């Protein structure tokens, strides 16, 4: 009788105080266990213990992420009750997460719950990380809709197995070619379709935005296809990373951060574009017209003083910049008299011809700045006597300079002395 009363009393207590859901209980236990080591310093762990701990914590993260995604997958009712737009918005508000990231988690949770159960199982046992799961799901979603379910399951299994050895970036490449593993007979045609679709999306999303930010600077942001990026970097690195001999003297360019060298190389690339190959602009060949008054042309340009000239587009530039650009770009100096009338539209032949440039390369072999060994193909033809001061476009008045030293030659802070061997030695003006 006594034992029966105790049993009935426990049943009533259990009904009044129901046990938490097993998931809540497991989470509470995990937090409690981790709180026990919150103040324990890992500095005294052995190398082997640190290695094991990192691997186990990574697996635990994957397991917890899988649990989180499984809850998100079935939380549509809660989001509706809360009046949220979707599960992702509800989760972002509840957890103070970034809304875009929370919505991405919700989409992944739905995909794992409804379709990609093998990936979900890999996350649950800690063998598939969140970033790997995203890559796998993206690759699987890109497979043909009419692919045989057996082949689809084989592809999913194979990609999950790859997670033991490959990073998300490597998995992305493997995922693009997974059909070559599971269905090689249709892989080539599918890969071609994927590439065409990717290239089309890239073209549709291509954009260029540019704005002035002051201090003579502009910020230009380009979103463009990967192929264009590869070509652009290849061209820029030809200017930014000039080859040097092993005994070359270390110069300033060796101390410039690489991102700055790329930015400067972009300017050099633009200066080397052949205007004759550009399309017509407003009915005329693409030409930069610089307006400058006669006095400035005679005095300020001769002394290297800083003056303001105006481009056809209305922008300002210094005489120093005009002199440098005049060596390589197709620029017509529009010289004005005292009353603003046009006195001169430039001499007929200012640029060195291809034959002259070949002769300069043969003669100079490399940049003629003292100690510089940048090879001739990467150099620019420079007028020893400025063309704006009557300099002639011939071999005796020409010299090869790399882009870096070509800027130096037109920098009014520097002077250049001609050495007996014909090289130029630069030094700051006193």
* pLDDT at residue 314 in the model: 45
* pLDDT at residue 176 in the model: 86
What value does the CA radius of gyration of the chain take, rounded to a whole number of Å?
34
Q: Write the secondary structure of the chain as one string of H (helix), E (strand) and C (coil).
A: CHHHHHHHHHHHHHHHCCCCCHHHHHHHHHHHHHHCCCCCCHHHCCHHHHHHHHHHHHHHHHHHHHHHHHHHHCCHHHHHHCCCCCHHHHHHHHHCCCHHHHHHHHHHHHHHHHCCHHHHHHHHCCCCCHHHHHHHHHHHHCCCCCCCHHHHHHHHHHHHHHCCCCCHHHHHHHHHCCHHHHCHHHHHHHHHHHHHHHHHHHHHHCEEEEEEEECCEEEEEEECCHHHHHHHHHHHHHHHCCCCCCCCCCCHHHCCCHHHHHHHHHHHHHHHCCHHHCCCECCECCCEEEEEEHHHHHHHHHHCCCCEEEECCCCEEEHHHHHHHCCCCCEEEEEECCCCCEEECCCCCCCCCHHHHHHHHHHHCECCECCCCCEHHHCEEEECCCHHHCCCCCCCCEEEECHHHHHHHCCCCEEEEECCCCCEEEEECC
Output 251 or 347, whichever has higher pLDDT: 251
**In whole angstroms, what is the distance from residue 326 CA to residue 304 CA?**
14
Q: Greatest CA span in the chain, whole angstroms?
A: 123
In this predicted structure, the answer to whether residue 15 has a pLDDT above a threshold of 80 is: no
Q: How far is CA 407 from the centre of its chain?
A: 27
pLDDT band of 301, cuts 50, 70, 90: very low
The model's pLDDT over 46-79, given as tens digits with 9 standing for 90+, comes to 999 999 999 999 889 888 989 999 999 999 998 8
In this predicted structure, the answer to whether residue 3 has a pLDDT above a threshold of 60 is: no
Over residues 126-154, mean pLDDT: 91
In this predicted structure, the answer to whether residue 295 has a pLDDT above a threshold of 70 is: no
Q: List C-alpha distances in Å: 69 to 32, 62, 76, 186, 428.
A: 22, 10, 12, 33, 64
Six token digits for residue 126: 């800690």
The model's pLDDT over 147-185, given as tens digits with 9 standing for 90+, comes to 889 999 999 999 999 999 999 999 999 998 888 888 888
* pLDDT at residue 345 in the model: 38
In this predicted structure, the answer to whether residue 293 has a pLDDT above a threshold of 70 is: no
Output 64 or 315, whichever has higher pLDDT: 64
In this predicted structure, the answer to whether residue 11 has a pLDDT above a threshold of 80 is: no
**In whole angstroms, what is the distance from residue 122 CA to residue 128 CA?**
5
Output 331 or 114, whichever has higher pLDDT: 114
**In whole angstroms, what is the distance from residue 335 CA to residue 301 CA?**
12
* pLDDT at residue 1 in the model: 42
CA neighbor of 361 nearest in space, from 407, 331, 326, 402: 402
In this predicted structure, the answer to whether residue 311 has a pLDDT above a threshold of 50 is: no
**In whole angstroms, what is the distance from residue 422 CA to residue 420 CA?**
5
* pLDDT at residue 146 in the model: 84
The model's pLDDT over 193-236, given as tens digits with 9 standing for 90+, comes to 777 777 788 888 999 999 998 888 899 999 988 878 888 888 88
Which residue matches tokens 């970097």? 233
Under the phi-then-psi rule, with left for phi > 0, alpha for psi from -120 to 50, and beta for the rest, what region is 340? Answer: left
* pLDDT at residue 111 in the model: 92
The model's pLDDT over 325-369, given as tens digits with 9 standing for 90+, comes to 555 555 555 555 545 444 443 444 556 777 777 778 888 888 898
In this predicted structure, the answer to whether residue 261 has a pLDDT above a threshold of 90 is: no
Total length of the chain:
430
Six token digits for residue 201: 């999306």
Q: What is the mean pLDDT of the chain?
A: 78
In this predicted structure, the answer to whether residue 387 has a pLDDT above a threshold of 70 is: no
* pLDDT at residue 257 in the model: 82
Of the segments 15-24, 205-214, 299-308, 411-420, which one has the largest average pLDDT value?
A: 205-214
């Amino acid at each position: 009788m006594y034992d029966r009363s105790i049993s009935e009393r426990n049943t009533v207590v259990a009904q009044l105080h129901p046990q938490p859901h097993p998931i809540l209980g497991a989470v509470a236990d995990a937090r409690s266990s981790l709180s026990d080591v919150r103040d324990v310093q890992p500095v005294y762990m052995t190398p082997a213990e640190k290695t094991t701990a990192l691997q186990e914590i990574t697996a635990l993260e994957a397991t917890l992420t899988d649990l989180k995604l499984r809850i998100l997958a079935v939380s549509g009712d809660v989001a509706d009750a809360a009046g949220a737009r979707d599960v992702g918005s509800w989760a972002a508000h509840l957890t103070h997460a970034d809304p875009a990231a929370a919505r991405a988690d919700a989409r992944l949770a739905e995909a794992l719950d409804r379709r990609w159960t093998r990936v979900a199982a890999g996350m649950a046992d800690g063998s598939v990380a969140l970033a790997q799961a995203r890559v796998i799901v993206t690759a699987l979603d890109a497979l043909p809709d009419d692919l045989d379910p057996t082949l689809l399951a084989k592809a999913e299994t194979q990609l999950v197995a790859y997670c033991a050895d490959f990073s998300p970036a490597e998995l992305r490449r493997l995922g693009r070619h997974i059909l070559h593993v599971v269905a090689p007979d249709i892989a080539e045609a599918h890969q071609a379709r994927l590439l065409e679709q990717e290239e089309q999306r890239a073209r549709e999303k291509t954009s260029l935005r540019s704005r002035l930010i002051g201090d003579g600077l502009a910020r230009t942001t380009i979103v463009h296809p990967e192929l264009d990026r590869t070509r652009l970097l290849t061209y820029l690195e030809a200017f930014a990373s000039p080859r040097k001999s092993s005994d070359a003297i270390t110069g300033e360019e060796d101390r410039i951060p690489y991102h700055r060298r790329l930015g400067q190389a972009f300017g050099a690339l633009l200066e080397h574009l052949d205007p004759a190959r550009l399309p017509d602009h407003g009915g005329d060949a693409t030409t930069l017209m610089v307006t400058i008054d006669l006095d400035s042309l005679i005095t300020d340009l001769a002394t290297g003083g800083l003056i303001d000239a105006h481009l056809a587009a209305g922008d300002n530039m210094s005489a120093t910049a005009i002199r440098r650009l005049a060596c390589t770009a197709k620029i017509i100096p529009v010289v004005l008299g005292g009353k603003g009338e046009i006195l001169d539209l430039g001499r007929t032949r200012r640029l060195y011809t291809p034959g002259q440039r070949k002769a300069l390369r043969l003669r100079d072999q490399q940049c003629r700045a003292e100690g510089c060994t940048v090879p001739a193909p990467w150099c620019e033809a420079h007028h020893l006597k400025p063309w704006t001061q009557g300099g002639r476009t011939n071999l005796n008045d020409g010299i090869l300079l790399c882009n870096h030293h070509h800027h130096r030659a037109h920098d009014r802070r520097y002077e250049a002395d001609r050495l007996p061997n014909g090289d130029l030695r630069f030094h700051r003006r006193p």
